[in-house]
Structure 1
Amino acid sequence: MLPVALAAALALVLVAAVVLVVRPGPVADWLGGGNPPATAEAVPEPTPVAVLPGADPNAPLPSTEGVRAALAPLVGVPELGSRVNLAVADVATGQPVFSWGEDVPTVPASVTKLVTAVTVLAARGPAYRITTRAVAGPNPGEVVLVGGGDPTLAVDAKGFYPGAARLDDLAGQVTAALGGTAPTRVLVDTSLYAGPVHEPGWDDDIPTGGYGASITALMTDGARRDPVEARKAAAAGQHGAVRVAKPDVVAGQAFARLLGLPADAVAAGTAPVAGPTAAAGTPGSELGSVESLPMVRLVDIMISDSDNVVAEALARQVALARGQPASFTGAAAAMDTVAAELGLPAQEMALADGSGLSRTNRISPSLLTDLIALAGNGSHPELAAVFGGLPVAGWSGTLADRYGATATTTGAGAVRAKTGTLTRVHAIAGLVSTADGRLLTFAVLTDDVPPDGLVAARRALDRIAATLAACGCR
């Protein structure tokens, strides 16, 4: 029988699933809190239908021989290329069920975000919020906007991420704190982050192609140029968006406008350090602050929408929590440290970023199945929050339009997984309920797919997961 802790963790998974499936539409809307923007139209909510069969605590564990017989013919197909590595394990016990190159570090693409999610939940906790502050500058009327690393910060109610912290709220606090002193200048402090704003291993089109951005400690709407248009595109299933080249400068200019200042009243700067007994209004004293959504919600956004900018911000939170520089290299080192602290085989992982955009990332399938089993076995309850954002096959996120073919329909509603895609790289890792109700974790990584084989590779990966869902494999 499943231990009580595991049953509780799995209950969290299913509760999270309900959160995701009750509200159809773009991921940003599913994860939002509070009232929608004034420009949004009210859409009737349909009655939710049943998805995701619950785990049966008494279900038999598939045999290695049974799983091998079912999956071996699917692993060596040409659609998956010459490098296919796979691991299947039982969530309740962590026991390996089937493996095929399971310990071989492979390019993971966006499946990397599972590591980012687990390490940031371990390092910061699900309730942690990222703070954006405004402090008094060195001269009267100067306001320093201090970036804390919240990528979801909005300018106003029309922001891309519902429920996000807002600059107009912060501007109101600053105006009240200044009293009769008129703002004269905005200084933008992004010194929290270090190193390059683009990871050297990113493809050349990442910074300009709509799925990545310059990673700075201060930005609004994930550096999207037009959050309103981006929300409309997301509602139509298009998640790329034009990003601004200098997110910190654009955010500072938006804040200046809210304070009644022109764009040329913005400059780079560093917040003065205020003494512990500094009076209000003295240089460095706080004029206001706003907080991000809690970490559990940020993780949901990152995984559900495969949000690369949010992923890089959360990776830097791991770095900050472990005393590392908030940079690509510092974040990678910190995630490695936290993975090792959790007992995961960190030697089977080499990271360059937190999003999976870098082709120099390497993760083994067995590390991913170990990670998912750890999050689901109840030994670290805070890690169960990773499951809430996992897309549901045939229903939500990056799996919404998959598992509709005859060969894969058995996986619809039974598979929850994170996908990963780069040119010639395709991956999937997550959970699947077998025909008998046993909950398994699986990871399939392939990084040598034919250049024009995107659709075929995805179907081949889906067949593997759907086969696990269909078989008792005993």
Structure 2
Amino acid sequence: AIKGVGSDAPAPTAAGVAAVLKGPAGNGALGTLTGSVVDPASGAVLWKQGETTPLTPASTVKVLVAAAALLTLDHTDRLTTRVVRGDQPGTAVLVGGGDPTLSSLPADRRTVYPGAATLDDLAARVKARGPVDRLLFDVSRYQGDGLAPGWAPEDVPDGYVAPIVPLMADGGRQDPTMMDNPRSATPAAAAAAALAARLGVPSAGPGAAAPGAEVLAEVESAPVDQLVENMMQISDNVLAETLGREVALARGMPPTFAGAVQAVRAVLTENGFDLTGAEVVDASGLSVDDKVPARLLTDILVAAGEPGAADPRTAKLRPLMTALPVAGGSGTLAGRYQEAGAAGKGWVRAKTGTLTGVNSLAGVVVDTDGRLLVFAFMSLSPAENRVVRHALDELAAALRTCGCGG
């Protein structure tokens, strides 16, 4: 839970917030800075600067897909990987169900995905149903290209993402225990080969499961709300794209990059969010072609963090609050707020975003009056990313030090 929140604390004022942000917002390292600060208890906008101007959000775009997933999918739903009986005797088909967290490690080994199902477990269940001589794999759940417009060619070997398919192990990572390490260019084939090895059959080839084929074995991912939290904590691009496609499927839209984006837009629009200026081509924020205004980020976080829960969207969106990394404590903020912005350590919770020349931070903080504030800061700057991140951390930490009640 977010510690120290009290909606009966002194209400912050725009003048008070402007006073504490004046210095850190003027840091030249921030380059072009846009942002918004809102009191979720009252809905009052306390500070704004270019808040309707669309900028490249980087991974803060995951706030959008997280919200769409929480608003659309049952929070207890799980993604299921199945092995079904094939058309020929002794043949089985591994059917990708959209779970990129399926792990090649034993159940007692920690992966980057808490609560992941394992190939070992799946293989054991298949063996219990009888011998298999041949294994095929089916990736028909998702469609279209595996790589989005605006992704760099080196993103896969550099470990930021794998081609998006409904079957993979460990998000396509070569080392399942490390967040960023080289990914497979053919993650479905790699996962199928790993299962085939466990079954003692030749490496699998592509195939199709017959409609209504008998299920031999299945394993399930962690529930949707935990997948959302994991995505937000470690900024997992593959998991973000998977959730986007699952929203598309739930909406009856194509499970492609374009379909996922259209589905996310539709869900957010139907739930009252103004997407004016928002143009995105993926669900992860890895594309340099994405554009989002800071105001949209704060609008979503305000709906998730509204303390009285009077907003009908809040109950579904509330897990977004606990999914945010904690400054100096967890996820992508674990190593930050040690020096720059140290006053915010343990008090700021936020989603990070980083690309070359792009840095963003969107989240919540409890000020010294005990009031929850929602913020989004977006920067385009030629300065070194580390320097810009420190400047953004100081902005959020300034809100923590704000006894800004009138």
One fold, TM greater than 0.5? yes
Given that 2:156 and 2:182 are in contact with CA atoms closer than 8 Å, whether structure 1 keeps it comes out as no
Given that 1:198 and 1:207 are in contact with CA atoms closer than 8 Å, whether structure 2 keeps it comes out as no
**Residue identity opposite 1:422 in structure 2:** L
1:433-444 alignment to 2 at 5 Å?
433-444=366-377
Residue of 130, 138, 142 corresponding to 1:193: 142
1:392-431 alignment to 2 at 5 Å?
392-405=326-339, 408-431=341-364
Q: Are 1:84 and 2:57 matched, yes or no? A: no
Q: Give the match's secondary structure for 2:153.
A: coil
- Aligned residue in 2 for 1:468: 399
59-68 or 357-366, which deviates more: 59-68
- Aligned residue in 2 for 1:119: 68
Count of residue correspondences: 397
Residue of 191, 201, 210 corresponding to 1:261: 201
Given that 1:427 and 1:445 are in contact with CA atoms closer than 8 Å, whether structure 2 keeps it comes out as yes
- Aligned residue in 1 for 2:283: 354
Q: Are 1:205 and 2:134 matched, yes or no? A: no
Q: Which runs of 4+ in 1 moved over 4 A?
A: none
**Residue identity opposite 1:312 in structure 2:** E
Given that 1:126 and 1:385 are in contact with CA atoms closer than 8 Å, whether structure 2 keeps it comes out as no
Work out the CA distance in 2 between the residues paired with 1:464 and 1:457.
11
Work out the CA distance in 2 between the residues paired with 1:349 and 1:94.
21
- Aligned residue in 2 for 1:364: 293
Cα distance, 1:257 vs. partner? 1.4
- Aligned residue in 2 for 1:383: 317
Work out the CA distance in 1 between the residues paired with 2:162 and 2:237.
8
- Aligned residue in 2 for 1:50: none
Q: Are 1:319 and 2:256 matched, yes or no? A: no
Residue of 253, 264, 287 corresponding to 1:335: 264
Given that 2:93 and 2:138 are in contact with CA atoms closer than 8 Å, whether structure 1 keeps it comes out as yes
Residue of 163, 186, 195 corresponding to 2:115: 163
**Residue identity opposite 1:445 in structure 2:** M
Residue of 248, 253, 272 corresponding to 2:210: 272
Work out the CA distance in 2 between the residues paired with 1:162 and 1:298.
9
- Aligned residue in 2 for 1:74: 24
Cα distance, 1:163 vs. partner? 2.3
Q: Give the match's secondary structure for 2:318.
A: helix
Work out the CA distance in 1 between the residues paired with 2:15 and 2:91.
70
Work out the CA distance in 2 between the residues paired with 1:393 and 1:172.
41
Q: Give the match's secondary structure for 1:88.
A: strand
1:219-234 alignment to 2 at 5 Å?
219-227=168-176, 231=177, 234=178
Work out the CA distance in 1 between the residues paired with 2:322 and 2:13.
29
Cα distance, 1:388 vs. partner? 2.0
Q: Give the match's secondary structure for 1:428.
A: strand
Q: Give the match's secondary structure for 1:65.
A: helix
- Aligned residue in 1 for 2:90: 141
Cα distance, 1:401 vs. partner? 2.2
Q: Give the match's secondary structure for 2:70.
A: helix
Cα distance, 1:93 vs. partner? 2.7
1:168-187 alignment to 2 at 5 Å?
168-177=120-129, 179=130, 182-187=131-136
**Residue identity opposite 1:255 in structure 2:** L
**Residue identity opposite 1:297 in structure 2:** Q
- Aligned residue in 2 for 1:292: 221
Cα distance, 1:108 vs. partner? 0.5
Cα distance, 1:159 vs. partner? 6.3
**Residue identity opposite 1:75 in structure 2:** A
Cα distance, 1:220 vs. partner? 0.4
Work out the CA distance in 1 between the residues paired with 2:93 and 2:260.
26
Cα distance, 1:75 vs. partner? 2.3
Work out the CA distance in 1 between the residues paired with 2:155 and 2:335.
24
Work out the CA distance in 1 between the residues paired with 2:142 and 2:8.
49
Work out the CA distance in 2 between the residues paired with 1:348 and 1:385.
26
Given that 1:76 and 1:84 are in contact with CA atoms closer than 8 Å, whether structure 2 keeps it comes out as no
Q: Are 1:241 and 2:181 matched, yes or no? A: yes
Cα distance, 1:183 vs. partner? 1.3
CA displacement 1:37-91 (0-9 Å, x = unmatched): xxxxxxxxxxxxxxxx41122112211122223223432432011x211000012
Work out the CA distance in 1 between the residues paired with 2:101 and 2:387.
35
Percentage of pairs with the same residue? 44
Given that 2:149 and 2:289 are in contact with CA atoms closer than 8 Å, whether structure 1 keeps it comes out as no
**Residue identity opposite 1:70 in structure 2:** V
- Aligned residue in 2 for 1:305: 234
Q: Are 1:250 and 2:183 matched, yes or no? A: no
Cα distance, 1:291 vs. partner? 0.9
Cα distance, 1:200 vs. partner? 1.9
Residue of 94, 112, 121 corresponding to 2:43: 94
